[in-house]
């Protein structure tokens, strides 16, 4: 005899609930957005309150090329998911590799920008409020890019050695949601730091 609560007259209608991966990732995205919001608020609040330079207008350049790379990687990861869904594993590997490459170009761009800022302009996190808020906000985003790249590279490895198939589409889609989020955050950071803040 086992338990219970089974009611015999239940109609056998389909009982379909949302994917827990997507819901879990959506929750994580909400939580992460709140963290970014606080850093953006701090950036905007301290904008122009520096007691000494350099200021954003003096040292920041528009990172247009790397931004385009990052944003287009949203498209490539989407194409990777779509290819996997249709069972075209080689296409999936190709698009994943393109995503990793584009993301790496973006990170390289950030590294170059920071190198220039530190060694040419003498701006570190200790220099002034701009340095404090700039490095922490952009650095927080870069950390998220790094985590995303690590996971995408793992997916690429699985895709290349053939252990990823169409039945894993759901999982890759969850990862792609994270990557889209990272890109969307960059739109905000770009607007705040490089457009409004300059």
Partner 1 sequence: MAVQTTTTAGTTQAAPRRLLLEVLHDWVTTVDHKKIGLMYIGYALFFLVVAGCQALLMRIQLAVPNNHFVSPQTFDSLFTMHGTTMVFFVGMPILFGFGNYLVPLMIGARDMAFPRLNAFSFWISAFGGMLLYFSYFGASGLYGAGSAPDVGWFAYAPLTAQIFSPGHSTDYWTLAILLSGIGNIGTALNIVATTICMRCPGMKLNRMPLLVWLYLVTSCLAFVTISPLTAAQIMLMLDRYVGSHFFDTQAGGSAVLWMHFFWIFGHPEVYILVLPAFAFANEIIPVFSRKAIFGYPAMVAASVGIGFISLSVWAHHMFTVGLGPGPNTFFTLATMVIAVPTGIKIFNWLATIWGGKIHFTVAMMFATGFLFQFLIAGLTGIMLSVAPFDWQLGNSYFVVAHFHYVLVGAILFMIFSAFYYWFPKMSGRMLSERLGKWHFWIFLIGFHLTFDFMHVPGLLGMPRRIYTYEADRGWMIWNMIVSSGAVFQAVATLLFVYNMVWSYFKGPIAGPDPWDAWTLEWSTASPPPAYNFAEVPTVESRRPLWDIKHPEDPDSRYE
Tokens at 93, concatenated: 């590997």
Binding mask 46-75 for partner 1 (x = CB under 8 A): x--xxx------------------------
Closest separation between CB of residue 15 and partner 1, Å?
Answer: 4
Strand, coil or helix: what is 165? coil
Closer CB to partner 1, 6 or 161, in the complex: 6
The answer to whether 149 and 73 are in contact (CB under 8 A) is no
Stretch touching partner 1 by CB under 8 A, among 34-42, 108-116, 156-164, 167-175: 34-42
Closest separation between CB of residue 185 and partner 1, Å?
Answer: 13
147: contact with partner 1 by CB under 8 A: no
- Of 74, 117, 123, 135, the residue at the interface with partner 1 (CB under 8 A) is 135
Closer CB to partner 1, 137 or 155, in the complex: 137
24: contact with partner 1 by CB under 8 A: yes
Strand, coil or helix: what is 43? helix
Strand, coil or helix: what is 10? coil
37: contact with partner 1 by CB under 8 A: yes
Window 93-132: residues binding partner 1 (CB under 8 A): 125-126, 128-129, 131-132
Q: What angle do CA 37, 42, 45 make, to 5 degrees?
A: 120
CA distance 192 to 86: 39
CA distance 127 to 133: 11
Strand, coil or helix: what is 106? helix
Comparing CA positions, the residue from 67, 43, 37, 57 lying closest to residue 187 is 67
- Residues of this chain that bind partner 1 (CB under 8 A): 1-7, 10, 15, 17-20, 23-24, 27-28, 30-35, 37-39, 42, 45-46, 49-51, 125-126, 128-129, 131-133, 135-136, 140
């Amino acid at each position: 005899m086992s338990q219970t609560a089974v009611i015999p007259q239940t109609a056998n209608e389909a009982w379909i609930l949302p994917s827990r991966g997507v819901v879990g990732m959506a929750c994580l995205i909400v939580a992460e957005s709140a963290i970014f919001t606080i850093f953006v608020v701090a950036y905007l609040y301290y904008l122009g309150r520096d007691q000494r330079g350099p200021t954003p207008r003096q040292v920041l350049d528009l990172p247009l090329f790397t931004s385009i790379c990052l944003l287009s990687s949203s498209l490539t990861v989407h194409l990777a998911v779509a290819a996997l869904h249709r069972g075209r594993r080689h296409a999936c590997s190709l698009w994943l590799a393109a995503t990793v490459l584009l993301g790496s170009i973006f990170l390289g761009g950030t590294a170059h920008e920071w190198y220039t800022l530190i060694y040419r302009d003498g701006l570190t996190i200790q220099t002034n409020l701009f340095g404090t808020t700039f490095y922490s906000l952009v650095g927080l985003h870069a950390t998220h890019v790094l985590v995303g790249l690590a996971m995408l590279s793992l997916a690429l490895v699985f895709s290349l050695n053939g252990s990823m198939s169409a039945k894993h589409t759901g999982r890759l889609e969850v990862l792609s949601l994270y990557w889209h989020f990272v890109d969307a955050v960059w739109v905000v950071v770009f607007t705040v730091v490089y457009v409004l803040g300059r």
